[in-house]
């Protein structure tokens, strides 16, 4: 009995996969880790599979599409395994429907994953606390319908086209096979391999789902005749591959249709399916030469990627890329950052400060408010908007009128920019209520599906579609998809050039809001504003002759010849929120090319720019205000429990240095900012009050009994419950963020807001 179990076809295929096809299994291993929430949880990758969003809602349609994509990936795995290993089991050639039989017996890994996925997404959805539990059943039926429909269609195709040995050699198909057989050398080698194959199999599961014994009288069949059965199946699999890739190309031309912007997880599964089939095709056709050819192709692609055809720049929409690129050198930076230009920028800003003061009664000294908002993807955008709405209510609609500047990074600045635009509209139209909860829904609507979909159907291939913005043509990419979706979610109210904010900022209708992405070429900041603010990039001492490297480049002055004022505002926001591999690095028209990345790499909390502004204008602030209030909105806790670590394993020792850098980057910046804030607070001759708001999961953990009253909790559990760093949030994550304003710490901060004396 044990022998028949061990040498059953399903187990033998499973053992063969473990022994020979680790690359194929790595795709499944990745999916197993994702859906079990053991990979990418901080980035929210598992939630793309467990809570797929389609047309801005989690519905059975989204799960149906996931089912379709997973079935296609599963079939790609079966086809590739069959191409690589089918000939090792000669008995398949004489069974009815050889490929379908192979799939049935090759299903241990796929069925295990399907079971894990169903349990995982049902558990996740139950944890989301839906008001109507029946909706979860709809999700399950949607996924099941998508899977079964796709598998049924594909199996029907193979049942209709794949013949067994006896039908094949009736004569009608052999003529077609002669035209599609492999090159003779490859065929002879495969015949030799087939004769040497010693994979022992005693039983297999038939298409009737019954165990049958394997026929042992295969010697009388010629090896080349058996191989023709497999080759005939291979031909049909090539058809499937061509259809899938062609479908992806067609989708690329219509990708802006919301109906075609499938869930990000489905796009990822289609990409994995293409990769799996590509691996199978390379290994099958090239055999022993597959690895050398792969590396040769990789080197060739690397060389070609430097050409204009494959390496088209990801543009900042609005800039003029037709003009001669500006010189990007130390000499040129020194030329444009001289004392006269810096003094001119300071004089303009002093005029803004005077306009700010005119908003308040003569003879009074108002409080000057600064907002510093942290990055953190969509969770930071939602949390920032939530806090700013609540702060405005708590202050009696006074605090934003007293706000002089907003600084920050990434998603936090997107949320703040959205609130600032709503505030500006409310001053022009009383119908705009900045505290309306619908704006929370808008800023937290899915922004990831179109990005991943565009990555699949466009950016991985050759980008060739254009669009116009303010009379200039630009290539469409996933950055464009991000901006268009953000525009759609927010009803287009931020779709304007940065020059549109010049007048409102100059007359102090709204606060200044410099956007400061990091320049990857040399680590400086690029300060983007409607006008030049070069004083934020250099100290007064440097201008007096001290040798000092400038910390920033003024965007308006540096790209004046490229129509800098026409830069699209949401393109500027995207430049400050560039998430690796999701939104592409923007290349700017300079020589050498300037590239930008997320502002959070230099200062994720926006404290440095706010303190620099305070320091530069401290004389005016001392004379005209009663002090400064710095409202800091963090998307993480400042004080975090020290993790109790076990003795590290060998592999953990290898990766610990990189892991520690990533984990502690937030703490390193916090400590640096604490030091800078304390120094400025001690030096300034006026009071500086800091009021902080934090997105913390501690209260959430305590409510679920996962943390004690002293705040002791399992850090791994916190990461699972914490909203992910992503451009898409689940219903549970949104609730966690919105409810955070009610925790004890944030309520205490709102009390401090209420006690501020805005005028003295």
Is residue 145 within 8 Å of 71, Cβ to Cβ? no
Q: What are phi and psi of 628, to 5 degrees?
A: -120, 140
Specify whether 400 is located in the same domain as 527: yes
Specify whether 390 is located in the same domain as 286: no
Specify whether 366 is located in the same domain as 292: no
Specify whether 258 is located in the same domain as 338: no
Q: What are phi and psi of 568, to 5 degrees?
A: -65, 130
Q: Is residue 459 part of a domain?
A: no
> What pLDDT, on the 0 to 100 scale, is given for residue 584?
87
Specify whether 437 is located in the same domain as 577: yes
pTM of the model: 0.84
Q: Is residue 737 part of a domain?
A: yes
Is residue 57 within 8 Å of 445, Cβ to Cβ? no
Specify whether 529 is located in the same domain as 635: yes
Specify whether 204 is located in the same domain as 84: yes
Q: Rounded to whole angstroms, how far apart are CA atoms 412 and 693?
A: 13
Specify whether 291 is located in the same domain as 411: no
Could you tell me which of 266, 249, 210 has the C-alpha nearest to residue 95?
Answer: 210
CATH number at residue 678: 3.40.1090
Last residue of a domain, one of 274, 306, 338: 306
Q: Rounded to whole angstroms, how far apart are CA atoms 369 and 629?
A: 5
Per-run averaged pLDDT (10 residues), the chain, 760 residues: 82 89 89 90 84 89 95 90 79 77 92 96 82 86 95 82 46 42 45 54 86 68 52 63 73 73 88 82 70 78 69 88 92 81 92 96 94 94 97 95 96 96 92 92 90 75 79 90 93 96 96 95 93 85 61 93 96 89 88 91 90 95 96 86 62 57 74 92 94 83 62 54 80 88 93 94
Last residue of a domain, one of 276, 306, 336: 306
Specify whether 257 is located in the same domain as 330: no
Specify whether 380 is located in the same domain as 438: yes
Q: Is residue 718 part of a domain?
A: yes
CA 167 distance to own-chain centroid: 51
> What pLDDT, on the 0 to 100 scale, is given for residue 428?
87
Q: Is residue 759 part of a domain?
A: no
Tell me how far CA of residue 516 lies from CA of 188, 382, 526, in angstroms: 63, 20, 5
> What pLDDT, on the 0 to 100 scale, is given for residue 183?
43
Q: Is residue 458 part of a domain?
A: no
Q: Rounded to whole angstroms, how far apart are CA atoms 134 and 572?
A: 44
Last residue of a domain, one of 243, 274, 306: 306
> What pLDDT, on the 0 to 100 scale, is given for residue 644?
59
Q: Is residue 315 part of a domain?
A: no
Specify whether 300 is located in the same domain as 333: no
Specify whether 42 is located in the same domain as 114: yes
Q: Is residue 151 part of a domain?
A: yes
Q: Counting beta carbons within 10 angstroms of the beta carbon of residue 310, is it exposed (0 to 12), middle (13 to 18) or buried (19 or more)?
A: middle
Q: How many domains does the chain have?
A: 2
Cis peptide bond N-terminal to 592, omega within 30: yes
> What pLDDT, on the 0 to 100 scale, is given for residue 236?
63
> What pLDDT, on the 0 to 100 scale, is given for residue 247?
74
Note down the domain range covering 129: 1-166+183-306
Q: Is residue 173 part of a domain?
A: no
| Contacting residues for 470 by C-beta, under 8 A, at least 6 apart | 318, 497, 566, 568
């Amino acid at each position: 009995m044990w022998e028949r179990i061990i040498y059953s076809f399903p187990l033998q295929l499973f053992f063969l996969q473990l022994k020979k096809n680790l690359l194929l299994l790595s795709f499944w291993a990745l999916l197993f880790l994702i859906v079990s929430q053991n990979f990418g949880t901080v980035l929210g990758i598992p939630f793309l599979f467990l809570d797929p969003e389609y047309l801005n809602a989690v519905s059975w349609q989204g799960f149906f599409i996931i089912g379709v994509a997973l079935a296609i990936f599963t079939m790609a795995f079966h086809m590739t395994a069959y191409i690589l290993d089918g000939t090792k089991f000669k008995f398949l050639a004489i069974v009815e429907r050889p490929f379908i039989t192979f799939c049935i017996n090759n299903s241990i890994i796929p069925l295990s994953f399907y079971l894990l996925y169903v349990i995982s997404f049902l558990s996740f959805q139950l944890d989301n606390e839906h008001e109507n539990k029946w909706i979860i059943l709809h999700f399950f039926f949607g996924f099941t319908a998508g899977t079964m429909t796709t598998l049924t269609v594909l199996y029907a195709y193979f049942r209709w086209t794949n013949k067994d040995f006896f039908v094949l050699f009736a004569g009608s198909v052999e003529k077609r096979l002669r035209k599609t057989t492999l090159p003779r050398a490859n065929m002879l080698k495969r015949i030799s391999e087939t004769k040497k194959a010693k994979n022992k199999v005693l039983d297999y599961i038939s298409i009737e789902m019954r165990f049958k014994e394997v026929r042992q009288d295969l010697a009388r069949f010629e090896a080349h005749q058996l191989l023709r059965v497999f080759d005939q199946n291979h031909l049909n699999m090539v058809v499937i591959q061509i259809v899938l890739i062609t479908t992806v190309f067609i989708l690329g031309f219509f990708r802006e249709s919301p109906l075609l912007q499938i869930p990000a997880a489905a796009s990822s599964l289609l990409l994995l399916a293409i990769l799996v089939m590509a691996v199978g095709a390379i290994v099958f056709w090239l055999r022993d030469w597959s690895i050398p050819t792969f590396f040769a192709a990789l080197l060739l692609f690397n060389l070609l990627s430097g050409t204009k055809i494959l390496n088209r720049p990801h543009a900042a929409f609005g800039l003029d890329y037709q003009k001669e690129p500006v010189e990007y050198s130390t000499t040129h930076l020194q030329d444009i950052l001289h004392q006269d230009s810096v003094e001119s920028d300071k004089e303009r800003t002093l005029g803004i400060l005077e306009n700010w003061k005119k908003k308040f009664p003569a003879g009074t000294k108002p409080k000057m408010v600064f907002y510093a908002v942290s990055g953190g993807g969509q969770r930071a955008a939602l949390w920032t908007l939530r806090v700013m709405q609540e702060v405005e209510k708590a202050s009696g609609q006074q605090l934003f009128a007293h706000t002089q500047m907003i600084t920050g990074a990434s998603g936090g600045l997107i949320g703040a920019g959205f609130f600032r635009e709503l505030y500006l509209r409310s001053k022009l139209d009383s119908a705009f209520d900045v505290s309306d909860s619908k704006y929370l829904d808008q800023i937290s609507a899915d922004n990831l599906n179109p990005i991943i979909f565009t990555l699949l159907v466009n950016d991985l291939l050759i980008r060739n579609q254009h669009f116009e913005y303010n009379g200039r043509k630009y290539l469409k990419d996933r950055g464009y998809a991000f901006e268009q979706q953000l525009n759609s979610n927010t009803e287009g109210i931020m779709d304007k050039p940065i020059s549109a904010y010049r007048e409102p900022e100059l007359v102090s209708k709204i606060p200044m809001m410099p956007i400061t992405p990091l320049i990857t070429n040399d680590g400086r900041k690029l300060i983007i504003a409607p006008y030049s603010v070069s004083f934020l990039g250099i100290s007064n001492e440097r201008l007096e002759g001290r040798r000092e490297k400038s910390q920033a480049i003024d965007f308006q002055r540096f790209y004046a010849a490229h129509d800098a004022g026409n830069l699209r505002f949401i393109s500027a926001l995207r430049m400050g929120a560039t998430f690796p591999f999701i939104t592409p690095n923007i290349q700017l028209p300079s020589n050498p090319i300037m590239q930008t990345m997320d502002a959070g790499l230099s200062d994720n909390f926006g404290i440095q720019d706010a303190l620099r502004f305070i320091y530069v204008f401290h004389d005016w602030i001392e004379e005209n205000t009663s002090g400064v209030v710095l409202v800091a909105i963090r998307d993480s806790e400042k004080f975090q429990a020290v993790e109790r670590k076990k003795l590290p394993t060998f592999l953990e020792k290898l990766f610990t240095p990189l892991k520690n850098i990533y984990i502690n980057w937030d703490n390193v910046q916090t400590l640096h900012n604490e030091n800078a804030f304390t120094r400025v607070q001690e030096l300034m001759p006026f009071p500086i009050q800091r009021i902080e708001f934090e997105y913390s999961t501690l209260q959430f953990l305590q409510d679920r009994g996962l943390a004690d009253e002293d705040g002791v909790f399992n850090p791994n559990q916190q990461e699972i419950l914490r909203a992910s760093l992503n451009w898409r949030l689940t219903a549970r994550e949104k609730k966690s963020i919105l409810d955070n304003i009610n925790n004890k710490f944030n309520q205490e901060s709102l009390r401090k807001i209420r006690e501020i004396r805005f005028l003295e």
